[in-house]
Amino acid sequence: MSLHIGIDVGGTFTDFVVLDPASGQLELFKVPSTRPASDGVISGLQLVMQRLGLKPEQIARLVHGSTVATNAILEGRWAKTALLTTEGFRDVLEIGRQNRASLYDLSVERPEPLVPRARRLTLSERLDYQGRIIKALDASQVKRLAPALKDAESIAVCFLFSYMNPAHERQVRTLLEAELQVPITLSSEILPEYREYERTATTVMSAALRPVVGQYLEALDRRVRELQIRAPLQVMQSNAGIVPAAQAARQAVSMLFSGPAGGVEGSRFIGDQAGFADLITLDMGGTSTDVSLVLGGKVGMRTEGVLEGRPVRMPMVDIHSIGAGGGSLAWIDAGRALRVGPQSAGSEPGPACYGKGSQPTVTDAQLALGRLDEKNTLGGRKLDRGRAERAIFDEIARPLGLSLEEAAAGIIEIADAQMERAVRKITVERGHDPRKFALLAFGGAGPMHAGSLARRLGIPTVIVPPVAGVLSALGLLVADRVHDLIQTFIQPVEAPDLAKMGRFFKQMQRNAEERLRDEAVESVKFSRMLEMRYRGQSYELPVELAGEVLTAEALAEAARRFHQAHAQLYGYEMADRPVEIVNLRLRAIGQTPKPPLKLSMNGAKRGSASRPARKVYFHEQGWLEAQVFEREGLAPPFKLAGPAVIEGRESTVVLMPHQTTCVDEHGNLIIACGGAS
């Protein structure tokens, strides 16, 4: 028996998923998260081995989802970094795009640059827009600078137009490597893409995280070896692909948005199993909600993210977050409108029903309307329905002249309206019709809102997976090895320099192969994309480039796809306008072995799932008698018509009137919503 273990470190818990790839059997474990996170990872591994009676050699794979990079930025613990840049452009990193984050806030702040001015040094050198050298790099100047870099823990190099010609950046590295023992990160390797601020910011971010990520993963790897585990350690990246731990530090920035990527990848897998290739994922927790897309069985990606006001350009899972969750506070503003969030009750004092706070939250509204059961323990505690009702009545209903039910239903409706807006942002604003998707809901509060949200958006199907709470850890085990490479190449699509283009693609392919060579992957697939635009535009669209050989026909086909994609996204195309290629992209996918499609859950109880019915309030119908079931006892061919409540260990599903649900062979609840309201 050889097992795969996925380890996902969250804010509160570190989740472990142990998968037997031969049988599809899954085991789930949770331990409290720790500082440093590696303590919890190691003690959890020991727990898993002890509970399952595992020998170290039975573990064949370890995949780790870590927020070490994100936390380092959020907590200001990045490495002391120096930046070398073109003379005259010392402050590109600080000036940014010269805009402010808030239009009307006179106390607005700009995020502190990761490299302060004193450690931003310039070198006399210059390339033109085609990468031709206008001013050669002066090697003696680099040597003279070296002493000033002595106390830096990491160095970033970013010259203007280096994406057209990396020679100067490489020369600097060679010269400095002879003098210093510090990791050097080149913009032409991290992001050979035009737009100097974004390239500099991304390169600096990567350099500043490199020692942090490197030290964490080295220490973790060492401790894993101390447990006699020989399995390779891999980590999740922002693009929902995994890399060997040993490679991760070199492009540390790629881990920055990896936190939620596992959950989306896990959702993709669950959706695939259930037969849904187009998904909107809804992860609603206590303080926030994340939404993302799976399109045609692929995780929806974007190319830029922002953390604390600092942009990072690289392919990452396209996740939109809003500050509305189960713990969001309901309040009345100065104009007498009922508001929900963005303030949250957090875990202290928590929703009123937890017995401490007196401010009502979304969770309190759910409880007051009978959707949550006071006897059902949530997160290990009993809920105080009387206290929830009092909070809603005193703070909301009475001041606004509403009944308790109206106020509670209003709180939920407003939270739903905010989530509807979030879903529209990632669908409609990206040219997708939400009615063509299934909604996959997880997180503590997601399944409670999914039914009503689906009605608002006209989404026909809701999926509630059985393992929602550990979706992220599962995602780690089903993810592929993925490398995304980019090269700016601005040329007209009708007559590009094919030889040069071919060389670029070959070079990217060689890079990717090199990174994939170190361990066994089942097979490597390359997909080539062209990012194109109408000449004069400044945002590009990715289009697939078909075929192995670069031909005029393949390019003409890509141009046709571009017109189509433009029409889909923006509603019009301009067939008579010249189209240009802006970036070449290569995605190398090293496919990892996939577990068999049938996952069976451990510990699923069989037997009577039915619980006593109770009254549940619905906005349109009022109080209705709702059937109540326990999630764990449900198995096919179970079918149910709403109104009903299905209570699980991790979350509660609310089935609206006129919605029906069944359990599929994988244990998913599949809810038929019957189209738009």
Partner 1 sequence: MIDPITLEVLKNAVIGAAEEMNAALIRTAYSPNIKERRDCSCALFDAQGQMVAQAENIPVHLGAMPFSVKAALEHFEEFERGDVIVLNDPFAGGAHLPDITFVTPIFVEAQLLGFAANRAHHADVGGMRPGSIAGDATEIYQEGLRIPPVKLWRSGQLDHDLWSMILSNVRTPQEREGDLRAQYAANEIGRQRLIAIAQRYGIPTMEGFFGEILDYAERRTRVAISKMKPGRYEAEDFLDDDGIDDQFVAVRVTVTVEPEKITVDFSGSAPQVRGPLNAVFAVTASATYYTLRCLTDSEIPPNAGCYRPIEIYVPEGTIVNAQLPAAVVGGNLETSQRIVDVLLKALAPAVPDKAIAACQGTMNSVTFGGINPRTGEPFTFYETLAGGFGARPNKDGIDAIHSHMTNTLNTPIEVLETLYPVRVERYEIREGSGGAGRFRGGNGLIREIRALAHLSFSLLADRRKTPPYGLAGGSPGACGEDLLIRTKATIRLKAKGSIQLEPGDVIRISTPGGGGFGNA
Given the rule CB under 8 A, which residues bind partner 1?
88-92, 94-95, 97-100, 102-110, 117, 128-129, 160-161, 163, 194-198, 332-340, 400, 402, 406, 409-410, 413-414, 417-418, 420-421, 424-425, 428-429, 490, 534, 536-539, 569-572, 574, 577, 677
User: What is the Cα gyration radius of the chain?
Assistant: 27
- Please identify, using beta-carbon distances, which residue of 379 and 431 lies nearer to partner 1: 431
| Nearest approach, Cβ of residue 139 and partner 1 (Å) | 22
Q: Which of 159, 25, 6, 17 is nearest to 84 (CA)?
A: 159
SS3 at position 208? helix
Evaluate whether 279 touches 271 at the Cβ level (below 8 Å). Answer: yes
For 45, half-sphere exposure in the C-beta direction (CA atoms, 13 angstrom radius) is 31
SS3 at position 40? helix
228/473 Cα distance (integer angstroms): 22
| Nearest approach, Cβ of residue 60 and partner 1 (Å) | 46
| Nearest approach, Cβ of residue 578 and partner 1 (Å) | 10
| Nearest approach, Cβ of residue 333 and partner 1 (Å) | 7
| Nearest approach, Cβ of residue 332 and partner 1 (Å) | 7
| Nearest approach, Cβ of residue 635 and partner 1 (Å) | 38
- Please identify, using beta-carbon distances, which residue of 53 and 572 lies nearer to partner 1: 572
- Please identify, using beta-carbon distances, which residue of 128 and 625 lies nearer to partner 1: 128
User: What's 119's DSSP letter?
Assistant: G
- Please identify, using beta-carbon distances, which residue of 56 and 131 lies nearer to partner 1: 131
Q: 272: which strand partners?
A: none
Cβ-in-10-Å burial (0-12, 13-18, 19+) of 656 comes to buried
- Please identify, using beta-carbon distances, which residue of 338 and 662 lies nearer to partner 1: 338
Q: Which of 7, 2, 12 is nearest to 29 (CA)?
A: 7
- Please identify, using beta-carbon distances, which residue of 577 and 658 lies nearer to partner 1: 577
Within its chain, how far is the Cα of 506 from the centroid? Answer: 30
Both tokens of 468, joined, read 């929602």
Q: Which of 438, 468, 432 is nearest to 451 (CA)?
A: 438
Cβ-in-10-Å burial (0-12, 13-18, 19+) of 299 comes to buried
120/142 Cα distance (integer angstroms): 14
| Nearest approach, Cβ of residue 581 and partner 1 (Å) | 13
| Nearest approach, Cβ of residue 97 and partner 1 (Å) | 4
- Please identify, using beta-carbon distances, which residue of 21 and 458 lies nearer to partner 1: 458
State the distance between the two ends of the chain, measured CA to CA, in whole angstroms. 51
- Please identify, using beta-carbon distances, which residue of 170 and 577 lies nearer to partner 1: 577
